[in-house]
């Protein structure tokens, strides 16, 4: 099977048919038997071309006089990606692209050849000469509207650090599941297996590793779980006491719920809620693997909780709110193209609905953590400020935004509040 043809089909699905990159890639790799080298090349071609789409379009634009077929356009983008970013001989890239075009439609073979040969001959446009929003948009491949939106909250230098960090491969972070293992036990195991690792200073039980452990027995047995370090920080911020009654909203896939259970040593009760049946099953499966016995999965719309739960029912609430996901754009590369200003506004309204539904469910002197995996202030600081203005019986105890480059994490917002009366 031609790896580049598979990659081209995947790119078209993601950029033009609404496919999600992780799903399209996983489905393709399940369907076709590829060796490790081909699997790696396929994944790199797809993710790289999608991630660098705006930059590649900037390079390609001078060579297209009119609109061409979608598959031809994607083939050109994928080819320029290889010419610019990968260590593959130019002639091999061009010949492969021409062959693919000719097989699919002979009339496009010479066209693809002409475009790519012209790109090879000519000097590339100097992106470094661009300024401001245009520079950030084209160099790092983010839509200009999104760059402008984020510049409301951060200066250009800070935003460039975020984008630059997102360009680098993200190391895998795991959490030691203290219901089943200790850090020392996991360190010894990783040493025996020859897997490189570094203990996190950012969270209590986090480890950054240099290899995947998804099929390893320490993962399948539930001794560790894959979880971003900033995500681990959320449960630590709430830090519920043993025997507490905890509400965890929008809890799937259950990573934070399981972390809360480990902090509470499987005592008390955690009500892990989600609206979708398949996510309830996913949580139950994860809890079984991790040995979590104190969590009760509840299928419910978080906006309707006040209709079913008595006021002042919980000692702690974790409100890991729906968000735009701008903090995870580094490894979910299609978010930057699928998100819109309108969808962000809808998310902000949904967040406010959820907070309005749960504000009276916390006991007096109880504590709540609001968290998101985004770093724009409309969904975070400004949302919390509106909540406090509407409910002055709450006060902020701690508030932090973690930008990806600061600790090598996803971008995250965590705010801890207390209900005073």
Residue 207 CA to residue 174 CA, distance in Å, equals 5
Q: Distance (Å, rounded) from C-alpha 168 to C-alpha 166?
A: 5
What's the rounded Cα separation, in Å, for the pair 362 and 102?
65
Torsion of the alpha carbons at 359, 370, 329 and 2, rounded to the nearest 10: -80
Say if residues 234 and 260 touch (Cβ distance below 8 Å). no
Joined together, the tokens standing for residue 44 give 């790199």
Active site annotation includes 373: yes
Q: Which of 74, 273, 373, 415 is catalytic?
A: 373
- With CA atoms as reference, report the closest residue to 248 among 219, 226, 278, 279: 279
Selection from 234, 180, 194, 225 nearest residue 207 by Cα: 225
230, 409 Cβ separation under 8 angstroms: yes
Tell me the C-alpha distance between 233 and 395, whole Å.
20
Answer whether 79's CB lies under 8 Å from 45's CB: no
CA 256 to each of CA 140, 228, 236, 274: distance values in angstroms, whole numbers, following the listed order: 31, 10, 9, 13
Within 13 Å and on the Cβ side, how many CA atoms surround 381?
9
**CB neighbours of 297 closer than 8 A, spacing ≥ 6?**
272, 273, 274, 280, 283, 284, 287
- Assess contact for 85 and 45: CB atoms under 8 A: no
In 39-178, where do the E strands start and end?
A: 172-176
Q: Cα dihedral sign for 209, 180, 266, 300?
A: positive
Catalytic amino acids? 373
């Amino acid at each position: 099977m031609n790896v580049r043809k598979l990659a081209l089909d995947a790119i078209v699905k993601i950029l033009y048919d609404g496919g999600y990159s992780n799903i399209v890639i996983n489905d393709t790799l399940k369907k076709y038997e590829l060796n490790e080298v081909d699997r790696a090349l396929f994944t790199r071609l797809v993710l790289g071309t999608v991630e660098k789409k705006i930059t590649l379009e900037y390079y390609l634009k001078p060579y297209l006089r009119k609109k061409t077929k979608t598959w031809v356009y994607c083939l050109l983008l994928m080819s320029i990606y290889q010419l610019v970013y990968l260590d593959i001989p130019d002639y091999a890239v061009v010949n492969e692209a021409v062959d693919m075009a000719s097989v699919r439609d002979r009339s496009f073979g010479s066209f693809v050849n002409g475009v790519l040969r012209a790109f090879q001959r000519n000097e590339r446009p100097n992106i470094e000469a661009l300024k401001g929003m245009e520079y950030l948009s084209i160099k790092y491949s983010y839509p200009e509207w999104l760059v402008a939106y984020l510049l409301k909250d951060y200066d250009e230098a800070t935003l460039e650090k975020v984008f630059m960090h997102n360009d680098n491969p993200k190391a895998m972070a795991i959490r030691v599941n203290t219901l089943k293992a200790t850090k020392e036990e996991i360190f010894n195991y990783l040493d025996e297996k020859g897997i490189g690792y570094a203990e996190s200073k950012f969270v209590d039980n986090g480890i950054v590793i240099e290899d995947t452990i998804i099929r390893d027995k320490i993962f399948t047995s539930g001794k560790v779980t894959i979880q971003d370090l900033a995500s681990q920080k959320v449960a630590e911020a709430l830090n519920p006491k043993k025997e507490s009654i905890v509400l965890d909203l929008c809890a799937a896939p259950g990573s934070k719920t399981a972390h809360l259970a480990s902090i509470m040593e499987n005592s008390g009760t955690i009500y892990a809620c989600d609206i979708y049946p398949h996510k309830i099953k996913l949580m139950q499966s994860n809890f079984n693997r991790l040995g979590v016995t104190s969590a009760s999965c509840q299928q419910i719309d978080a906006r309707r909780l006040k209709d079913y739960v008595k006021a002042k029912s919980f000692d702690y609430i974790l409100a890991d709110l729906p968000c735009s996901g701008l903090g995870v754009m580094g490894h979910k590369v299609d978010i930057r193209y699928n998100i819109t200003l309108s969808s962000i506004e809808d998310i902000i309204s949904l967040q406010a609905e959820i907070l309005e539904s749960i504000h009276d469910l916390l006991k007096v002197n109880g504590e709540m953590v609001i968290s998101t995996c985004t770093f724009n202030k409309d969904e975070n600081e400004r949302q919390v400020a509106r909540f406090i203005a509407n409910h002055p019986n709450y006060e902020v105890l701690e508030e932090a935004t973690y930008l990806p480059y600061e600790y090598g994490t996803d971008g995250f917002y965590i705010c801890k509040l207390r209900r005073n009366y």
